[in-house]
Amino acid sequence: MSAVLESLPSADRPRERLWALGAAALATPELLAILLGTGTRLGDVLTTSRSLLSSGGGSLRRLATRPASEWQRQGGIGPTKAARLLAAFELGLRLAQEERPPVVRIREPEDVVRIFAPRLRDLSVEEFHLLALDTQSQVLREVLVTRGILNSSLVHPREVFRPAIAEAAAGIIVVHNHPSGDPTPSAEDRAVTRQLVAAGQLLDLPVYDHVILAGDRWVSFAQGGLL
């Protein structure tokens, strides 16, 4: 792979290296080069980005505090490229200021009920949701898998486990509602759960629970010994 990258024109390498190696592997001038997009007749985009960074003494923080008009005095930096830089620095500032969302940890079925009851208990159709959890039982991601009548053809293990695998989850909890008002698991509920548990065993990604909500009542497969 490195030989292929080295054979590319220098102006194309930052973008290709990003896709091949990830953004963290790129040097700061390479990341700036991707933002700028193109160079000038006097030099490629990497030359332009290195010159721009040098104007800030090699510091992104100092560069970000310079007025855009000063950037544009650099060769190859026009209004469009200056606007990209302004947007990128502002996004970085907002990211740094944004508070982390509160950690949601699932310790018992009641925690699942508190999350989903307000949304699911009064619905007129069934919804099937996934909670992907880390090793500390913290919620990594919540996904609406399907909406409609629950059956094994709609709730395919592939659609359930794909987002959990993408999050490198340690385990999952699934939850759905019964518009009928009766949370008693149906034969189809049990069949879907068996299918998911078996798939989870193959993937080493266990199903910790299946919670069914119906109005103000609910059933936990784990609590009821049904897993």
Query: Pairing between strand 171-177 and 127-133?
Result: antiparallel
pTM greater than 0.75? no
- Write down the domain spans for the chain: 2-97, 109-220
Say which residues have a Cβ less than 8 Å from residue 220's Cβ, sequence separation at least 6.
109, 112, 209, 210, 211
Q: Are 43 and 77 in contact (CB under 8 A)?
A: no
Q: What is the third-level CATH fold of 109-220?
A: Cytidine Deaminase; domain 2 (3.40.140)
H/E stretch holding 94:
helix 79-97
Could you list the pLDDT tens digit for every one of the 227 residues in the chain?
A: 444 344 445 545 888 888 888 889 899 999 999 999 888 777 888 889 999 999 999 999 999 999 999 898 887 889 999 999 999 999 999 998 887 777 789 999 999 999 999 999 888 889 999 999 999 999 999 999 988 765 544 678 888 999 999 999 999 999 999 999 999 999 999 999 999 999 999 999 999 999 999 999 999 999 999 98
Q: Closest Cα to residue 215, out of 116, 108, 120?
A: 120
Is residue 36 a contact partner of residue 77, using CB atoms and an 8 Å limit?
Answer: yes
At 11, list the tokens. Answer: 């102006």
